[in-house]
Copies of this chain bind each other. A is one copy, B any other.
Amino acid sequence: MDRKEQILEIATELIQTRGYSAFSYQDLSDRLGITKASIHHHFPSKAELGLAVAERYFADVTSALGEVKRASDDPWEQLDGYVGQILSIIKTRDRICAAGAVHSEFNVVPESMRDEMCRLAKHIIAWITDVLESGRRAGVMDFPGDPKAEAALIFAAAQGAMQFGRAHGAVKARQILQQIKESLRAK
């Protein structure tokens, strides 16, 4: 329906599968069946489109994570909610997290888009930190040192898992996610 939304959806997919620098207005044109000029009407420049994708992606991910916390107070169920989001990306095959994609092309992505994806990374890590703190407080999760450091590790590992999984198979990626969980199990 909404053209703008359609464009954003496909652009997001292209960024997740090909990356920001490797996707073009032509790709969008092919997929949507309208000309490049029409797409420029909705998003005058690629940088503006990139920013819009990032903002939409930020909203989607943060809202889903918020939903996870509203759905349960249990730290393990909350962590599973996060892992579930990663798994759903892995399942699509060919895709990785858009935030991870932008981080890996950091030097060639427009600044406003970068900033938004950095914001998202910080948000996710803060969210995980929160889960880890309540898990430790409840005595159901165990890990060394600062919860923020552990949360950053989990975030980095999850990004790496998606990238690795696309190349070597979803099974490997799931194995990594499973290992993250095992390492948090209280003894």
Report the 7 A-B pairs with minimum CB-CB distance, sorted nearest first. Answer: A156-B160, A104-B104, A160-B160, A157-B157, A144-B182, A159-B160, A21-B22
Partner of A164, one of B18, B107, B150, B155: B155
10 pairs, CB–CB < 8 Å, chain A vs chain B:
A106-B166, A106-B167, A114-B167, A118-B168, A152-B172, A155-B160, A156-B163, A158-B160, A159-B160, A160-B160
Contact across chains for A176 and B163 when beta carbons are under 8 A apart: no
Q: Given that A144-B182, A145-B182, A153-B176 are contacting pairs, would A104 and B100 also be in contact in the complex, using a CB cutoff of 8 Å?
A: yes
Chain A positions near chain B (C-beta within 8 angstroms): 17-19, 21-22, 94, 96, 100-101, 103-108, 114, 118, 121-122, 143-145, 149-150, 152-153, 155-161, 163-164, 166-168, 172, 175-176, 178-180, 182-183, 185, 187
Q: How far is the CA of A150 from the CA of B179 in the complex (A)?
A: 6
User: How far is the CB of A16 from the nearest CB of chain B, in Å?
Assistant: 10
Measured between beta carbons, the chain B residues less than 8 angstroms from A161 are 153, 156
Partner of A19, one of B96, B108, B150, B157: B108
Q: How many copies does the complex hold?
A: 2
Contact across chains for B168 and A164 when beta carbons are under 8 A apart: no
Q: How far is the CA of A4 from the CA of B86 in the complex (A)?
A: 41
Q: Given that A19-B19, A167-B114 are contacting pairs, would A144 and B105 also be in contact in the complex, using a CB cutoff of 8 Å?
A: no
Measured between beta carbons, the chain B residues less than 8 angstroms from A103 are 163-164, 166-167
Contact across chains for B183 and A144 when beta carbons are under 8 A apart: yes
Q: Given that A105-B22, A143-B183 are contacting pairs, would A176 and B156 also be in contact in the complex, using a CB cutoff of 8 Å?
A: yes
User: How far is the CB of A116 from the nearest CB of chain B, in Å?
Assistant: 12
